[in-house]
Structure 1
C-alpha cells in the first residue's frame, strides 16, 4: 500500500529563506557576528558560515528559527531608515534616542556688568521679570516594571513541555518499544534536572537532552532485560509497519544518523557532531542507510536521491504508533529525580557513617605493640618411650588396697588383732 505525500504552499512560504548573499548582508547590516547569530539560532558559528556561503541550507526546526531571525533583521531597518552599510544601524539607533535638553543660560544678577548705554534700575530679586528663563519642572521617572524571572523549576517544565513528546516519538522510532522510549526520555530529563545549571546555559538544551535519550535507548544492555526483549505490536497501517520494520533493520549508528538528519532535520555537520563521528563518516552512514531503506520501502525506491530526505521526513511525521506515547507530567519526573537523589544521598551518608564507626572500632581494639605469633606445634621423633611401673594386675590391686587400709607403722602393725 502506497501513500502520497502532499506539501502545502503555506509551509513553503513559512520556510522560504533569502539568498545566501542576502543572509550575509542582513547580518552585517545589523552588525552581528557569526557567534551571535549561532547563539540566537542554536547552532555553531561554522554552520552559520556554511549557510551564508551557500554550501548547506538549514533544515527542520533550525530552518524555521533561522528564517524568523532573518525576518526580524530585515524588519529592523524600517524603523531607522533603509538598510545600508553596517555603520548605519548605529546611526539609526542614535537618531531614535531623545536629544539632550538645551543648556539654560545663567540668570543675570543686579551686581553684574552693564553696557555703556544708559542704565536703568535693576529689578530686585523678589520681582518677577519677563526675560528670566525658568527651568521646567522634571517629573520623577517611573521605575521600570519588574518582569518576574522564571525559576529553575518553571524553566525545566517549559523545556519538558516543548520537547518531551517529540523525543518520546523519536525514541520509539529508534527502539520500537513504548516502555523503553518513555524510560529513555525520563532518564534523560532526570539527568538534565540534576545538572540543570549546565543544561540551562547550553546553546541547544533540547539537543543536550536528545543525546542522552538516544544513548540510553540504543544501549545494547537492554537486550538482557526481559521487559525489552520483544517489540511492541506493529502499527495498524501496512505502510507504517513497513517503515518501522525497515528502520529497525538498520544498525544503531545508521538508524540514529537517519533519524537526526531526515527526521529531526539537522544538517550533516551537526548530525556528525551529535553522533560523535566525522562529517564524511556521517555522510557514508546516511548513503548506506538510504540504500537499505530504498530496498525495503516501495515509496522510496522510485524517488531520486536528492528527494529521499524530504520523503523520509514526511513518512516519519505521518507514522502513527499503535501505542500511547504520552509522557508523564514534568512535576512527576522532576519529583522522581529529586527523590532518587535524596535516596542516594542518604545511602552515601549511611555508608560513610558505617565506615567511620568500623574504623573507630578497629583503632580502639587494635594492639599498640608488636606481638609475635605463636609457633605451631611440631612432632618430635627419637624420644624413648616412657619407663615406669607397669599396670597393676587384679592381685596387685588387692594388695595395694590392703596396704592402704592397714596402719603404716607402730606396734599395732605386728600386734595380733582380735576379731
Structure 2
C-alpha cells in the first residue's frame, strides 16, 4: 500500500505574506479551514504543521484557490481543559482540543479580562489582533503611542513579578529602549506589546541582578498585610512558575500564548500553572478561585503608585545608551589595533637559532676567581712572612 504524498506548503514567512496579500486575518483563515486562530498562529510560527485534509485546504487557501470573506472573529475563552481533564489531539489538527468544563468548574474562569487596576487602559483579549499603526505616524509618535498604551500596566505587572519597584521601572524602560533601538522590527511585529512585555520580563528575571549592591537588600513590602502575604507567596514561587501565573491569571493570555511567551510546550505551561495555583491556595486558601486570584493581583498592583518615565525620556536614554556602547566599542577597537601595532613593531623580525651544546664561545674574558697558588707564589708568600714587618731594617735595602 503506497502512501499519498502530502501537499507542499510555502515557507513560514511566505505563509504570512500570502495571507496578508489576500487581506485575510488569522481569524479568517481559521474560520475557512475549520480550526482555531491559535492553530493558524502555530502554523505560521512553525510550532506545528497541518495534516490531512486540513493541510490541503490550508494550501489551497494560501495559493488563492479558495476565496474567503474577511470577518471579525469573536474572542474565544482561553484554554478550558487545563484543570478539568486531559487534553485530546485531533489527527488533522496540531492544536490541543480541550474538553468543555462544567458550569461549576473553575476552569471556565481561567481567562478573565484585564481589569483597569493593572493599567490605565485594558489590553486586547487573547484572540484579538492589534490594529496596525497608521503609516501617517512618525516613528516617534508611533513609539509614544505604544509606550502610553503598555508602560503603565507593564510596570505594575513587573512589580508583581519581582517585588521591587525600581527594578520594575528599570526593566520596562530597558525593554522600551531596546524596542526603540529595533523599532522597524518591533513596529512591523504583529504583537508589539507582547514583544515589549517578553523583553521586560526577561530583564526583570535575570539572575545577574542579585550581584548588584542595591539589590542585595530587600525593598519595603506593601503596607496592607493581605497584599504583603500575597506578594510573599508569589516571590517564593520559581521564576518560571511566577511568570506563567502572572501571564495567565494576571494579564489574561490564553494557554497557548502563555506557553509561547515562556518558551514551553502547552502541557508544560498547564502543569506550571496548576502547581503555581496550588502553592498559592496552600498558603492563601481564599485565593483558590482563579477569578478571586485575578482580582487580588489587580489590587496588589494598583496599591503601588508606580509611574513610568515619559516616553521622550526613555527614547533619549536609549539613544544615549546606544551612543555610549558605540563609543566604547570604538575605543576598544582602537586599543586593540594599537596593541597589535606595538606588538608587531617590537617583536623580532627574524629567527635567531640557539647555540649548539659544546660550541666555543668567543669574546668571553678569562676567569679571575681565586685558585691554587703556584710554587713561585708560595715562595714569595713565605719570604714576606719571614721578614720583619716593622723597624729601620724595612726601610734600608740590603745588598743581594
The residue that corresponds to 1:417 in the other structure is none
For residues 196-207 of structure 1, the aligned pairs below 5 Å read 196-207=183-194
Match of 2:322 among 331, 336, 341: 341
The residue that corresponds to 2:128 in the other structure is 66
Deviation at 1:320, TM superposition (A): 5.2
Q: Is the 8 A contact 1:254 1:286 kept in 2?
A: yes
Using structure 2 for the length normalisation, give the TM-score. 0.59
Are 1:229 and 2:210 counterparts? no
Using structure 1 for the length normalisation, give the TM-score. 0.57
Q: Distance in 1 between matches of 2:348 and 2:297?
A: 72
Are 1:158 and 2:145 counterparts? yes
The residue that corresponds to 1:309 in the other structure is 290
Deviation at 1:33, TM superposition (A): 4.9
Deviation at 1:167, TM superposition (A): 0.9
Residues 31 and 148 of structure 1: CA distance in aligned 2, closer, same or farther (over 3 Å): closer
Q: Distance in 2 between matches of 1:330 and 1:257?
A: 28
The RMSD of aligned alpha carbons is 4.0
Residues 150 and 377 of structure 1: CA distance in aligned 2, closer, same or farther (over 3 Å): farther
Q: Is the 8 A contact 1:240 1:320 kept in 2?
A: no
Deviation at 1:193, TM superposition (A): 1.7
The residue that corresponds to 1:242 in the other structure is 229
Q: Distance in 1 between matches of 2:74 and 2:331?
A: 54
Residues 261 and 152 of structure 1: CA distance in aligned 2, closer, same or farther (over 3 Å): same
Summarize deviations over 1:81-136 as a string: whole Å, max 9, x none.
Answer: xxxxxxxxxxxxxxxxxxxxxxxxxxxxxxxxxxxxxxxxxxxxxxxxxxxxxxxx
Are 1:366 and 2:366 counterparts? no
Q: Is the 8 A contact 1:257 1:271 kept in 2?
A: yes
Are 1:284 and 2:284 counterparts? no
Q: Is the 8 A contact 1:59 1:267 kept in 2?
A: no
Q: Distance in 1 between matches of 2:298 and 2:201?
A: 18
Are 1:351 and 2:332 counterparts? yes
Q: Distance in 2 between matches of 1:289 and 1:297?
A: 12
Q: Distance in 2 between matches of 1:329 and 1:377?
A: 81
Structure 2 stretches lacking a partner, 5+ long: 1-21, 31-36, 43-72, 78-94, 101-107, 114-122, 360-369, 388-398
- In the comparison of the two structures, how many residue pairs are matched? 279
For residues 131-146 of structure 1, the aligned pairs below 5 Å read none
Summarize deviations over 1:337-364 as a string: whole Å, max 9, x none.
Answer: 2112112211221222222223233333
The residue that corresponds to 2:40 in the other structure is 45
Q: Distance in 1 between matches of 2:27 and 2:372?
A: 103
Summarize deviations over 1:181-226 as a string: whole Å, max 9, x none.
Answer: 1121122112212222221111111111111111121222323333
What secondary structure, in the 3-state scheme, does the structure 2 residue paired with 1:319 have? helix
The residue that corresponds to 2:307 in the other structure is 326
Match of 2:156 among 148, 163, 169: 169
Q: Distance in 1 between matches of 2:384 and 2:342?
A: 64
Deviation at 1:43, TM superposition (A): 6.9
Q: Is the 8 A contact 2:168 2:204 kept in 1?
A: yes
Deviation at 1:367, TM superposition (A): 3.1
Q: Is the 8 A contact 2:244 2:273 kept in 1?
A: yes
Residues 313 and 366 of structure 1: CA distance in aligned 2, closer, same or farther (over 3 Å): same
Are 1:208 and 2:195 counterparts? yes
The residue that corresponds to 1:13 in the other structure is none
Range that drifts further, 52-61 or 280-289: 52-61
Are 1:185 and 2:166 counterparts? no
Q: Distance in 1 between matches of 2:290 and 2:251?
A: 11
Deviation at 1:239, TM superposition (A): 2.7
Q: Is the 8 A contact 1:184 1:214 kept in 2?
A: yes
The residue that corresponds to 1:34 in the other structure is 26
Q: Is the 8 A contact 1:34 1:49 kept in 2?
A: no
For residues 402-413 of structure 1, the aligned pairs below 5 Å read none
